[in-house]
Structure formats: structure tokens, C-alpha cells
């Protein structure tokens, strides 16, 4: 690995400077991007940096960006801008921007023209070249742009600095081939590619051996895992293999695309005792016409049939979804179809988004973009409906017991801490009563958005 030399070179340069060298990675966007951020942190550590919790006094700050919606991008520009002063005051400070945003030409150009204090810009496929870029920047003091090809965080055996002490991300594939017409991911992440099952299993074993209690298998569409591999394997088979690893841990995965969600997968969830009874199955819209124009390749009826099958096979499964309101041409009628679907689907929770026009996508060229005030009204209406449904579902769990993973990270305020149950419920308990790890919890009251629980003491 040629990077190795650059890692050593950077380390040597840093050792010549006194003191600790703090680095901070700001990651935005999806869990995949967080996983990439953990690899960038791994590389930074090898180069001799200490990973900090904030960018305060950091000598190296990386913005690992997301391009999914305009808001996400605006936030990055704002936060990068804030560091201009610190950068001008510290000649050793390096600011880098990477990830999905810079993979778009007009954005890379904006950083080049309007953010002269950004020292390094590297794309999603250039991550393995970070040590080389840092070394070159340190030695020639020039701005560097690398949006070229490469394996990026897809490369095997990259070091990882895992941010959570008990929960580990495990990417099983990269990229996306679905080309939903609103979505920028296929444009910035490239074609879908699955990792070899043996590499995934080996990493899962390392994670378990290191004491992690939860593994989340990640991909933009995990249900199509294995396509294109020399020895094809389905996601359901992979799930069974990860489940077979001995140890006290649980397994989650995201995201599932409804068009590829199969009976085989649901049966694997039922059969694998470590796989949580929870599936994130984004529907995006309840209108068949909108779904067709989004290129989602299923209908609302197919989606409901899937939910029915899921609940027959795994009766206590909970389901969450993503919804986009204000897709170009979305009529009142279309929106009502989404409302109706929400009532029928009864998701535990939804992540709703106002459609954001993304350059280079097909939907950006569609006529009849929806005025913001119409989208906002629809968004609000959906939010109110979903809040009511979520509250009813949480209420229905009162009096039951479940297993919750507490990791000390999720502060729920007022002396409480929250964790996720095996069915993905948010459960809150007094901080001093919570262990670090799994606990049996009695669900005594609904708080609406979560459940108040009481730890059930078990005899050792
Ligand atoms: N691969 C996943 C989703 C990844 S993006 C899937 O297909 O389900 C996460 C969510 O962001 C999407 O589910 C969608 O609801 C939302 N999203 C994507 N592009 C968007 C856009 N242009 N405007 C608004 N929301 C968008
Ligand atoms: Fe985007 Fe669709 Fe791929 Fe999800 S499946 S990442 S929404 S193109
Ligand atoms: Fe955003 Fe890139 Fe993920 S666009 S949602 S960070 S793949």
C-alpha cells in the first residue's frame, strides 16, 4: 500500500512540532458517510493526530459532506466559513472538505473560487489518498484538489476509529444503481458495488471480539447486496452468516428498498435471533403516479402487501419510512394518497423531507416544481398525523418488557438516558440505573415520542 509511506512521512513531520495534534472530522448525512468519517479518523490517527470531540483548537478539520438536500449543503458552507478566522491565525491549521458535495463539479468550483482558506478538497473516491494529500500540502503549502477515481472508503483494511463504544457500522456495499429521479447519490457515489462476504464476516468477527454490542450493516439498498459478485449471495444469506458469529450482540441493517425486499429476507429476520425486529423501508410517496415518476419501481399496493407479509412473518416487527413531499407535479390528490398510506402503514416513525431540487437529476428538469409554501403545509400535515400514529404505537407497548441497548451516549435530559429496544423503540430510564450494554426493561409509561422504562434486575 503506497499510502503507508505517506502516513509515516506525515507522522515524522508532526513529531517535529511540539504538543498534541488535534483533528476533528465533521460528518454530515447518512450512516454510510459516518462510516467513511470513521475511516478518515482512522487514517488521521495513524498519521499522528489525536481525534478530538470538537473543532475547537483543532489543527486539522475535515468536513465530510452530504449533498442529499440543499439545506445540508448550506449548513456546510456556513460551518466552513466560521473557521476562516482560526485558519488565518494558525499557519499549521489544515482545512479539508470531502464527501458527496465536492463530487459535484459546481460545488468543487465554489470551494476553489470562494473559499481560498480550504486547503484540500477530495472526492468520495479519493479518501485513501488522504495521507498523500496531507503530506504534499504540508511540504509544498499548496491548495490541492483531488476528485479523481479510486476505491475511496471502499478499500479493504483501512483503519477505523469507531465513534461509539458499543455500536459499530459495517458497510457491506457502496454506491447506488437505482437512479431515483430526485436523488443525487448515484451521481456522487458511483455505481453499486458489494464487498466480498468473507471480508464482511471477518470485520464482523473483529467487531464482536472487540466487545461491540450492535452491528449495523450499511448500504443504500442492502436488499440488492451480492449482485455482481463472482459467487452470488443474497442479503438474507449474508444476514444468516453474520448471525451465526458467536457472541452477545445484535444486528441491524439499512436501507431496504421496497422493490427488492423479499420473503427470504423477512424469514431470515424471523430466524436469526440476533437480528432486530425492525426494518427501515422508505416508501417516499403514496401516489402511484409520483412513485412512477420517482422511478421507485413499486406501487402503494405492493408496499402495503410487503408490510402485510412482514407482519405475518415477524409479528412484532416495527417499520419506519422516509417520505418526500412536494415532488415536482405532486397534486393535492397525490398528497392525499400519501396521507392515506401513512394511516394504513402505521410506521413507528417517519423521516419526512421537503423535496429539494438537485442539479444533474432527472427530477430537476421536471415541470411544475411545487411552491415552498405548499410543500411546507403538506409537510406539517404529515408530521402531525405521524406524531399521532407514533404516540399510539408507543402507547401500545406500555406494560410490556423488552431488551434495550444503553451506550451512555444518548442523553435524554433531566438525569435520563435513552436507548433503543430490540423493536427500535426509544426507551428512557434514569441514568444511574442504566448499565452500559443490554438490559431487560419494563415499559411503564408512554411519553409520546418514547417510553419510560424501568430496568428489571436479573439475578447474576
Ligand atoms: N437509499 C435510501 C435513501 C438514501 S437518502 C433509499 O433509497 O431509501 C435518504 C432519504 O433522503 C431518502 O429516502 C429520501 O426520502 C430523501 N431524499 C433523497 N433525495 C432527496 C431530495 N432531492 N429531496 C428531498 N429528500 C430527498
Ligand atoms: Fe437515492 Fe434511490 Fe439510491 Fe436511495 S435507492 S440512494 S433514494 S437513488
Ligand atoms: Fe448524503 Fe452522500 Fe449519504 S449525499 S445521504 S452523505 S451518500
CB atoms within 10 A of CB 214: 20
Angle at alpha carbon of residue 452, lines to 449 and 453, rounded to 5°: 140
Give the three-class secondary structure for 27: strand
- Cis omega before residue 16 (within 30°)? no
Is there an atom of ligand 1 within 6 Å of 281 CB?
A: no
Q: What is the pLDDT of residues 17-31, one digit of tens each?
A: 999 999 999 999 999
- Could you give the count of Cα atoms lying within 13 Å of 146 in the half-sphere of its Cβ? 22
pLDDT (0 to 100) of residue 2: 47
What is the Cα–Cα distance from 35 to 203, expressed in whole angstroms?
13
Task: Pick the atom of ligand 3 nearest to 67's CA.
Answer: 4
410 vs 363, residue with greater confidence:
363
Residue 293 φ/ψ region, left for φ over 0, alpha for ψ in the -120 to 50 degree band, beta for the rest: alpha
Confidence band for 3, pLDDT divided at 50, 70 and 90 = very low
Q: pTM for this structure?
A: 0.96
pLDDT (0 to 100) of residue 459: 57
Closest ligand (CA of 325): 1
Is there an atom of ligand 1 within 6 Å of 220 CB?
A: yes
Measure 427 CA to ligand 3 centroid, in angstroms: 28
> Are the C-beta atoms of 321 and 347 separated by less than 8 Å?
yes
Confidence band for 66, pLDDT divided at 50, 70 and 90 = very high
460 vs 309, residue with greater confidence:
309
Measure 175 CA to ligand 3 centroid, in angstroms: 10
Q: Ligand 3 — pocket residues by CB below 6 A?
A: 29-30, 32-33, 66-68, 100, 184-185, 188-189
- Average predicted confidence (pLDDT) for the chain: 95
Measure 106 CA to ligand 2 centroid, in angstroms: 21
Q: What is the pLDDT of residues 366-376, one digit of tens each?
A: 999 999 999 99
Measure 249 CA to ligand 1 centroid, in angstroms: 29
- Phi and psi at 168, nearest 5°, equal -120, 140
Count Cβ atoms within 10 A of the Cβ of residue 121 and give its class: 0-12 exposed, 13-18 middle, 19 or more buried: buried
Q: What is the pLDDT of residues 296-319, one digit of tens each?
A: 999 999 999 999 999 999 999 999
Amino acid at each position: 500500500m503506497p499510502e503507508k509511506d505517506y502516513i509515516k512521512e506525515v507522522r515524522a513531520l508532526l513529531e517535529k512540532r511540539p504538543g498534541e495534534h488535534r483533528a476533528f472530522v465533521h460528518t454530515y448525512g447518512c450512516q454510510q458517510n459516518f462510516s467513511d468519517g470513521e475511516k478518515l479518523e482512522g487514517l488521521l490517527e495513524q498519521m499522528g493526530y489525536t481525534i478530538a470531540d470538537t473543532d475547537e483548537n483543532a489543527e486539522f478539520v475535515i468536513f465530510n459532506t452530504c449533498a442529499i438536500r440543499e439545506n445540508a449543503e448550506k449548513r456546510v458552507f456556513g460551518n466552513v466559513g466560521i473557521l476562516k478566522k482560526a485558519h488565518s491565525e494558525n499557519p499549521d491549521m489544515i482545512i479539508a472538505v470531502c464527501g458527496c458535495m465536492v463530487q459535484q463539479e459546481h460545488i468543487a468550483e465554489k470551494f476553489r473560487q470562494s473559499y481560498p482558506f480550504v486547503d484540500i478538497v477530495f472526492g468520495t473516491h479519493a479518501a485513501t489518498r488522504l495521507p498523500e494529500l496531507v503530506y504534499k500540502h504540508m511540504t509544498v503549502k499548496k491548495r490541492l484538489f483531488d476528485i479523481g477515481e479510486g476505491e475511496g472508503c471502499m478499500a479493504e483494511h483501512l483503519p477505523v476509529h469507531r465513534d461509539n463504544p458499543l455500536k459499530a457500522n459495517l458497510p457491506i456495499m457502496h454506491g447506488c444503481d437505482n437512479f431515483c429521479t430526485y436523488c443525487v447519490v448515484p451521481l456522487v457515489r458511483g455505481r453499486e458495488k458489494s464487498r466480498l462476504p468473507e471480508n464482511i464476516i471477518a470485520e464482523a468477527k473483529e467487531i464482536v471480539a472487540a466487545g461491540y454490542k450492535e452491528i449495523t450493516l450499511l448500504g443504500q439498498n442492502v436488499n440488492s447486496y451480492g449482485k455482481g459478485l463472482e459467487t452470488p449471495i443474497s442479503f438474507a444469506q449474508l444476514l444468516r452468516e453474520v448471525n451465526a458469529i458467536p457472541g452477545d450482540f445484535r444486528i441491524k441493517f439499512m436501507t431496504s428498498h421496497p422493490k427488492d425486499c423479499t420473503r427470504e429476507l423477512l424469514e431470515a429476520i424471523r430466524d436469526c435471533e440476533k437480528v432486530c425486529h425492525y426494518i427501515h423501508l422508505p416508501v417516499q410517496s403514496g401516489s402511484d403516479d409520483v412513485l412512477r415518476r420517482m422511478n421507485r419501481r413499486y406501487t402503494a399496493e405492493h408496499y402495503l402487501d410487503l408490510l402485510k407479509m412482514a407482519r405475518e412473518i415477524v409479528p412484532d416487527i416495527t417499520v419506519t419510512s422516509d417520505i418526500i413531499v412536494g415532488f415536482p407535479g405532486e397534486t393535492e390528490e397525490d398528497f392525499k394518497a400519501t396521507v392515506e398510506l401513512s394511516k394504513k402503514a402505521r410506521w413507528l416513525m417517519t423521516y419526512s423531507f421537503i423535496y429539494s431540487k438537485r442539479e444533474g437529476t432527472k427530477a430537476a428538469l421536471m415541470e411544475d416544481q411545487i411552491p415552498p409554501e405548499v410543500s411546507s403545509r403538506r409537510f406539517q400535515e404529515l408530521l402531525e398525523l405521524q406524531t399521532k400514529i407514533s404516540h399510539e404505537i408507543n402507547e401500545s407497548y406500555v406494560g410490556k418488557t423488552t431488551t434495550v441497548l444503553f451506550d451512555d451516549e444518548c442523553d435524554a435530559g433531566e438525569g435520563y438516558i435513552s436507548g433503543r429496544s430490540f423493536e427500535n423503540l426509544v426507551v428512557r430510564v434514569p441514568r444511574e440505573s442504566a448499565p452500559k450494554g443490554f438490559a431487560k426493561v419494563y415499559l411503564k409509561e408512554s411519553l409520546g415520542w418514547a417510553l419510560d422504562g424501568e430496568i428489571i434486575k436479573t439475578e447474576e
